[in-house]
Amino acid sequence: MKPTITFLLSLRAAPALLAVAATLAGLSVHAQAPQSESPHTTIVYVVRHGEDTPELLADPSITVTFNNCNSDSSCCEEVLNPLGRARAAVLGDWFKTRRITQTLTHVIASHKIRSRQTVASIAQLAGLGGDLNGDGTPDGLDVDQVPGDGVINVPPTPTECEAGWTSSGSVRQPQIDYLQSLPLGSRAVLCSHSPVIYPIMEAFGISTADPVKFPKDSRGRVVGFNNLWVLELKPANRDGTGGYQGRLLAHVRLDFELGETFVSREYGVGPSEVATGRED
């Protein structure tokens, strides 16, 4: 099995966003999900959230420090922008066309809305959330941020404008602990953030030194939004004790080449963060 699979999708104009999902669905359906060598393993598909932009809550004239809340609880809620939403749709189709959704047991996101939005369609396609009994009310197994949507928020709180606001880096240990608690044989998707994705992998003994499989910026964070990693987790000891140890099964790259910026917002506090190349 080759460790890296590359798909190149060029988006040169806004209308092309509408065709992204259809384009991906038409790509080689023979590139199935990497399979574990043993059924007695847990598989985790790791992705970073899609492209986002801040949605200012309260008065737009209030000075906002991006990624931080003010004392009056006004702050920015980071949600997916149009490109991020298109990427989320593409991601859902990628999992569906490779028949991965039907195997999934968990879809995990952080307490940040952009993370949940990125994998919400995967949870729906996997049958883990939504109106499962047809009574008009979501009734998936999760009971956290959006009860019934099928996405498990780890950690579930605080949301971005609640007291006790925390940065995306705060999800590191809770997500490590949650993955360690997964039943053997689970098939999970984990959507997280650029500062913690590699530390999470390293916590399971996976080296992230390879700059091709693990692209990094100068701070050691994930670069870009185009990577998907497939991890295999096995019990450290034969008797099932000692927690999971992992290895990389595959690095998949879905490469979006942007010809223009689709979203640029200003809130009276200077250029929007979308145009600055912020990585978190």
How do residues 247-279 score in pLDDT, each as one tens digit?
999 999 876 443 333 333 332 222 323 223 344
> pLDDT confidence of 140, banded at 50, 70, 90?
confident
Domain assignment of residue 172, given as a range: 4-276
d(CA 18, CA 89): 10
Average pLDDT over residues 92-98: 93
pLDDT value at residue 214: 98
pLDDT value at residue 268: 29
The residue type of 76 is C
Burial (Cβ within 10 Å: 0-12, 13-18, ≥19) of residue 157: exposed
Average pLDDT over residues 147-176: 92
In the numeric block, which tokens belong to residue 200?
């999470």
Element (H, E) at 65: none
**Comparing C-alpha atoms, which of 91, 53, 115 is closest to residue 228?**
91
What's the pLDDT tens digit per position in 13-43? 333 333 433 333 333 322 344 454 456 899 9
Domain CATH code at residue 184: 3.40.50.1240
**Comparing C-alpha atoms, which of 86, 150, 93, 90 is closest to residue 116?**
150
Do the strands 244-258 and 4-11 form a parallel or antiparallel pair, or are they unpaired?
Answer: parallel
**Per-residue DSSP letter, 183:** P
**Angle at which helices 82-97 and 113-125 pack, to 10 degrees?**
30
Report whether pLDDT(173) > 50: yes
pLDDT value at residue 88: 94
Average pLDDT over residues 201-217: 97
189 three-state secondary structure: strand
In angstroms, what is the C-alpha Rg of the chain?
19
Verdict on whether the full-model pTM lies above 0.85: no
φ/ψ of 202, rounded to 5, equals -65, -30
In total, how many domains does the chain have? 1
Average pLDDT over residues 223-230: 94
Average pLDDT over residues 46-64: 78
- The residues near 62 (Cβ < 8 Å, ≥ 6 apart) are 56, 70, 72, 74
Contact 204, 231 (CB under 8 A): yes
C-alpha neighbours within 13 Å on the C-beta side of residue 244: 28
- The residues near 77 (Cβ < 8 Å, ≥ 6 apart) are 54, 55, 57, 113, 159, 160, 161
